[in-house]
Homo-oligomer: A and B are copies of this chain.
Amino acid sequence: MKQSHIDPKALRNALGTFTTGVTIITTRDGEGHAVGLTANSFNSVSLDPPLVLWSLAKTAMSVPAFTESTHWNVHVLAAEQQSLSNLFASKGEDKFAGLELDNGVSDAPLIKQCTARFQCRTAFTHDGGDHIIFIGEVIAFDQQDLPPLAFQSGQYAVTAKKPWQELKLSSASEALECSYSEDLLGYLLGRAHFQMLGKLQKTLSAESMTAAHFFVLSVLTIQDDISLEQINAHVDYAGQEITYEHMAELVSLDAVKQDSERYVLTEKGHKAALLHISEAKVIEEELIAELGEGDVKALKVILKRLIQHTDPGLPDLWANAS
User: A residues within 8 Å of B by Cβ?
Assistant: 1-3, 6, 8, 10-15, 17-21, 23, 41-53, 55, 76, 79, 82, 105, 115-116, 118-119, 124, 126-131, 133, 135, 137-143, 148-150, 152, 155-164, 167, 169-173, 176, 178-181, 183-186, 188-200, 218-219, 221-222, 236-239, 273-274, 277, 280-281, 283-284, 287, 290-291, 294-296, 298-312, 316-319, 321-322
Residue pair A274, B3 in contact (C-beta under 8 Å): no
Name the contact of A45 in the complex, choosing from B131, B189, B199 (C-beta under 8 A): B131
Q: How close is A92's CB to chain B, nearest CB, in angstroms?
A: 18
In Å, the complex CA distance between A115 and B15 comes to 10
| CB nearest neighbor in B for A303 | B188
In the bound complex, do residue B185 and residue A305 qualify as a contact, i.e. CB atoms below 8 Å apart? no
Q: How many copies does the complex hold?
A: 2
Main secondary structure of the interface of A (DSSP, over half): mixed
Q: Which residues of B contact A53 (CB under 8 A)?
A: 53, 128, 133
Question: Do residues B179 and A141 form an inter-chain contact, with CB atoms below 8 A?
Answer: no
Cα–Cα distance between A141 and B11 once the two chains are bound (Å): 7
Q: A3-B50, A17-B143, A158-B160 are in contact. List 4 more A-B contacts (CB 8 A).
A: A41-B43, A46-B129, A160-B301, A169-B307
Bound form: Cα–Cα A140–B5 in Å? 8
Q: What distance in Å separates the Cβ of A256 from its nearest Cβ neighbour in chain B?
A: 15
Inter-chain contact B300/A185, CB cutoff 8 Å: yes
Residue from the set A82, A141, A312 with the largest chain B CB neighbour count within 10 Å? A141
Contacts A46-B55, A130-B47, A189-B193 known; A321 to B173 CB distance under 8 Å? yes
Residue of A129, A157, A303 with most partner-chain B CB within 10 A: A303
Q: How far is the CB of A103 from chain B (nearest CB, A)?
A: 12
Q: How far does the Cβ of A302 sit from chain B's closest Cβ, in whole Å? A: 5
- Contact call A178/B221, Cβ cutoff below 8 A: yes
A157 touches B156 (CB 8 A): no
Given A20-B19, A43-B20, A185:B196 Cβ within 8 A: yes
Nearest Cβ distance between residue A274 and chain B, in whole angstroms? 6
Chain B proximity of A38: nearest CB distance (Å):
14
In contact, A302 and B17 (Cβ under 8 angstroms): no
